[in-house]
Amino acid sequence: MYAIGRNLRACAIALLWSGMFAASAHAHGGIAGPDDLGPPVITSAVLGLAGYWLMMLWPSRDRTQVNRKRKAARNAIR
């Protein structure tokens, strides 16, 4: 339960920061309106989350093979 609250808090802070930067950029230069700025921000957020979860859920390699290689390398040095 604690992890869910921590993740929600992190997402809320990220949204707050992006909202503040988008608002200040718009106020100090009129870079684009919400119609022009919204889709790229949403797309980058979706791609970032998808990439993060892809790396978190990617299957790791078999540790026994790694340990065998390490032992073989140690025995070869001796």
Residue 22 lies in a domain: yes
Q: List, for residues 5-53, the tens digit of each pLDDT value.
A: 888 898 898 888 877 776 666 555 556 666 777 788 888 889 999 999 9
Domain for residue 39, yes or no? yes
Residue range of the domain that includes 12: 2-58
Q: What is the pLDDT of residue 50?
A: 94
Predicted local confidence at residue 62, as pLDDT: 62
Question: Residue 74 corresponds to which tokens in the numbers above?
Answer: 């140690």
Token pair listed for 70: 């390490």
Q: In this predicted model, what pLDDT tens digit does every residue of 57-66 receive, in sequence order?
A: 887 766 666 6
| 53, amino acid identity | W
d(CA 37, CA 45): 13
What pTM was computed for the model?
0.40
Domain count, the chain: 1
Return the pLDDT at 49: 92
3-state secondary structure (DSSP) of residue 49: helix
